[in-house]
Amino acid sequence: MITITHYMVLSAILFSMGTVGVLTRKNAIVVFMCVELMLNSVNLTFIALSSHLGNMDGQIFVFFIMTVAAAEAAVGLALMIAFFRNSDSIDVEDFSLLKW
């Protein structure tokens, strides 16, 4: 029997994997994929809770998160292309012009 606890633990694990990925990966696109993983783990949390509580709010929230994630992806990839055109790299380590 799969209970709400299973879903919560699974999404917590996915969320932590995303967080660790953002902090450790070097390629900006992979970093962004890790952010998407975090957002999707949140979606999983919302859907599991929504079905557990018998309340639709969580599922509506998921639609908004998916829409926003799509908009963010469009803007983010455009920014990465602009960066790549000027620097020939998409490595997070190359974000080095602005430093104190």
The residues of the shown chain that bind another protein, judged by CB under 8 A, are 8, 15, 18-19, 22, 28, 31-32, 35, 38-39, 41-42, 45-46, 49, 52-53, 55, 57-58, 60-61, 64-65, 68, 71-72, 75-76, 78-80, 82-83, 85-87, 92, 95, 97-100
- In the complex, the smallest distance separating the C-beta of residue 61 from another protein, rounded to whole angstroms, is 6
- In the complex, the smallest distance separating the C-beta of residue 78 from another protein, rounded to whole angstroms, is 8
- In the complex, the smallest distance separating the C-beta of residue 18 from another protein, rounded to whole angstroms, is 7
For another protein, which is the closer residue by CB, 1 or 98?
98
Report how far apart, in Å, the C-alpha atoms of 79 and of each of 7, 75, 95 are.
Answer: 34, 6, 13
Phi, psi of 78 (to 5 degrees): -60, -40
Q: Which residues of 46-85 are buried (b: 16+ CB within 10 A; e: fewer)?
A: bbbbbeeeeeeebeebbeeeeeebeeeeeebeeeeeebee
